Amino acid sequence: MRRYPWTVPVAGVLLLLAGAIVGISAAADDEAGIYGLALAATYVVVGLGLLARRPWAVLAGLGLSAINVALTVLAFTTGPAGWLTAEFTVLLLLLLLPALWRRRSPPPRGSAGRTDTWTGPRERLLFWVAAAPTVLLGMAFFLVAPFGWLSGGIDPVAALVVVGCLAFVGSVAVLLRPRSRVVDLDVARLSIGEEPRPAFLARYDRVGRTMVPVGIAGGLATVSVWLLAAENLPVAVRLPGAVLAGLVALGALVLPATGWRSYIALLSSGLHVPGLRHATFAPWTAIAGSSVEWLPHRGGAEPYVTVSVVDPAAISTSGGGRLLWRLNRGFGADLYFPARMLITDPDFLAYAIGAYGSRPERGRMIGMTEELDRIRSEWTGARLPRQLPDPPASSRW
């Protein structure tokens, strides 16, 4: 059965919200009568189908979009509600169109598969606490805001603050969303130096690496707007604080365009990690081992793929990377990669790094499909005889 993207259940929430609004309006208006109630019931039924990601509901949602085009034209002729209907139609189409795109999946190699993400009760609760208000309030705001803006009833400062808060809370929901990871690495050739080099790539989640700076920018933009609008603060505090917060927010939005958290490359010579300006490189001969560690974080624990280095002088990095390395040493390892943002299974990545660190001469095989199948089979065999220790019960990925 085909798995539709997350935009489909969000479209279902939008239809349920529209069905509630249409139903309440029809019940209070005698002229709407049975037709308004029937439309509300249709919205609710299709919305529930989209929440369950049913194929018939996707087709029905697209059909409702076509019907809403006619309703939009009718609404423009009868009153100012045309803008609201038009926005609802466009938003519904944007949420349903990704369901029509068929993604090509690479042919299976060897025992490549997926590991199901087991999310603990704490993460599930935090996800729903962040996702539910973001979707509901976000839809209500973006549907009502243009209508209120045209009538002059929306304060621009308040609107910007709401958008910033939604971006911040929404980024938390994206990071905590349940998803699976692949027991695989991408075979690629990286242009490093004068000629392309064969590599195995462990990629980060594209949505996650984009939403993190968006959330940071949203939170800082909210602080910036609040500082500019606050009347009880002196100008000497408001203006510099707002300018600084705005500059940091803009800098955060640039992060997705850089190599930040895009991939971890296993080259024949060592471990290559792209940075904001300069990459970090550690030769296999200097790597002592790698593992997945859970570090205390805000009352719980966060998983990281850690790498220990025998000779720190062998690491080449930027000035900021060197400072970060010194901070990492205080926690017991030299390099830390957030496991929550990885597409590749963190345990598999840690095993691969450790395998090439213990046998540097094996690195010359990196980039070959046969070598990837071999390292994956070794990892699977190493896991079967023994039961790996469970992560802390309060926090699991």
pLDDT band, very low/low/confident/very high, at 362 (cuts 50, 70, 90)? very high
The span from the CA of 233 to the CA of 210, in Å, is 33
pLDDT band, very low/low/confident/very high, at 151 (cuts 50, 70, 90)? low
Which range among 118-122, 130-134, 175-179 shows the weakest confidence by mean pLDDT?
Answer: 118-122
Mean pLDDT, rounded, of the chain: 79
169, 224 in Cβ contact below 8 A?
A: no
Which range among 67-71, 103-107, 150-154, 383-387 shows the weakest confidence by mean pLDDT?
Answer: 103-107
pLDDT of residue 105: 41
21, 13 in Cβ contact below 8 A?
A: no
Mean pLDDT computed over 204-218? 85
Mean pLDDT computed over 385-389? 45
The span from the CA of 105 to the CA of 326, in Å, is 41
Q: Judging by DSSP bridges, how do beta strands 195-203 and 181-182 pair with one another?
A: unpaired
Mean pLDDT computed over 108-122? 56
pLDDT band, very low/low/confident/very high, at 354 (cuts 50, 70, 90)? very high
Q: Dihedral, CA atoms, 220, 222, 224, 230, nearest 10 degrees? A: -150
For residue 198, give Cα distances in angstroms to 45, 190, 266, 268. 52, 6, 9, 7
- Please, where are the H alpha helices in 151-200? 156-176
The span from the CA of 397 to the CA of 54, in Å, is 28
pLDDT of residue 384: 56
Q: Dihedral, CA atoms, 192, 194, 196, 198, nearest 10 degrees? A: -70
pLDDT band, very low/low/confident/very high, at 201 (cuts 50, 70, 90)? very high
pLDDT of residue 352: 94
Which range among 238-252, 280-294, 311-325 shows the weakest confidence by mean pLDDT?
Answer: 311-325
**68-72, 142-146, 179-183, 213-217: which has the highest mean pLDDT?**
213-217
Task: Write out pLDDT tens, residues 26-67.
Answer: 776 666 667 778 888 888 899 899 988 888 999 998 888 888
Task: Choose between 267 and 311: higher pLDDT.
Answer: 267
pLDDT of residue 230: 79
Task: Choose between 214 and 353: higher pLDDT.
Answer: 353
Q: Dihedral, CA atoms, 282, 287, 291, 292, nearest 10 degrees? A: -20
pLDDT of residue 178: 78
How many CA atoms lie within 13 Å of 135's alpha carbon, on the beta-carbon side?
22
Q: Which element (helix H / strand E) includes 116?
A: none
Mention every residue, 6+ apart, whose C-beta is less than 8 A from residue 188: 198, 199, 200, 201, 265, 367
25, 36 in Cβ contact below 8 A?
A: yes
Task: Write out pLDDT tens, residues 83-107.
Answer: 667 777 888 888 888 888 754 444 4
First to last CA, the chain: 26
For residue 337, give Cα distances in angstroms to 136, 287, 304, 344. 33, 15, 5, 12
Mean pLDDT computed over 286-303? 78
41, 68 in Cβ contact below 8 A?
A: no
Which range among 113-122, 200-209, 259-268, 380-389 shows the weakest confidence by mean pLDDT?
Answer: 380-389
pLDDT of residue 293: 86
pLDDT of residue 112: 52
Q: Is a pLDDT exceeding 90 seen at residue 284? A: yes
For residue 379, give Cα distances in angstroms to 72, 100, 205, 330, 391. 57, 36, 22, 30, 19
Task: Choose between 29 and 176: higher pLDDT.
Answer: 176
Residue with token string 């239809």:
15
For residue 43 the two structure tokens come to 């919205």
pLDDT band, very low/low/confident/very high, at 113 (cuts 50, 70, 90)? low
Mean pLDDT computed over 226-245? 82
Mean pLDDT computed over 186-196? 83
Residue 179 φ then ψ, to 5°: -160, 170
Q: Is a pLDDT exceeding 70 seen at residue 295? A: yes
Question: Nearest-CA neighbor of 5 among 90, 127, 89, 103?
Answer: 103
